[in-house]
Structure 1
Amino acid sequence: MQPQPYTIRKAAPDEFAALGQLMVQVYSQLDGFPKPEEQPAYYQMLSNIGEFTQHPGVEILVAVSEKGTLNGGVVFFRDLQFYGSGGTATQEKNAAGFRLLAVSPEARGLGIGRALTQACIQRAKDHQLSQVIIHSTKAMQTAWKMYEKLGFSRSEDLDFMQGELPVFGFRLHLK
């Protein structure tokens, strides 16, 4: 088996701005996803991704290449009260979640999205939580296949509308 050409670790505060720029780039290029001018507050949140870490139990994980290039990231929530989504997810108990998974276009196909997802699942297990909650949109259906392979199931009770955009919930029950 090939060694991974990247490391998954907790982001350093001096990486937050670059990760925010990467997230804006990735999300604004998704077909069928609202553009910055349509949802400016959402893109402002992405730009300031580091602000999530002001809440307890919130971590930003990054994938960094051997050369130090930031190739992706995700925000992990040990407590869903800080998850910040619409719908009912923030009321889920004994649950972790993650949001805003992004992989740079140049690093796609290396397994970074899967590795970031698995790191979040492992953190939830480490905290002895019973489930992991995530949300996605139709524009991210490529990721849906990966989530389902990792054991996530669609959970319609977690669905909500973000303006005109339908957002779909997924749940992973941990053993």
Structure 2
Amino acid sequence: MANRVPQTLTWIASRGQRLRQWYNDHRFGAIDDHAQLGKRGEQVAAQLLRRKGLQVIAESESDRAGEIDLIALRKHPRLMVFVEVKTLSTSRPGHPADRVDENKQARITRAALRYLKRKKLLGIPCRFDVVAVWWPRDEPRPTRVEHYESAFDAVGIDSFFG
């Protein structure tokens, strides 16, 4: 009987971990292990935003102006958040967020403006965030995730204030 106690505790612990994983996947979104690296990075970023209380309302939103990886909404006070996700799979020097240069910022700004016009949301305050994800090829999960709120302002001649 005494030998069964450790086995029982191990069984309970494993069930608890699986239940916790199921709950987190259900509440914050699951990660598709078979998806491409960029898509998995976006899924991790969406989980992070949901954990911070934001509601992800669109993923990979695109039109002729460009693509926005994630669009989230904060309800109180109301705020639209346009998120660019950059995932790095190598150990080379450099920061994933450095890849969001001024040209990319201008494309995101134009796409965000077109999205707001299309959805009749022009009066809503907005911000532009960047989520950097480090996910080495041999790892099952990312080793590091950083969220930069208000990473850049609207850029370009079609900016919100131009």
Q: Give me the TM-score of the superposition, normalised by structure 1.
A: 0.35
Give the TM-score of the pair, scaled to structure 2: 0.37
Q: Which has the larger radius of gyration?
A: 2
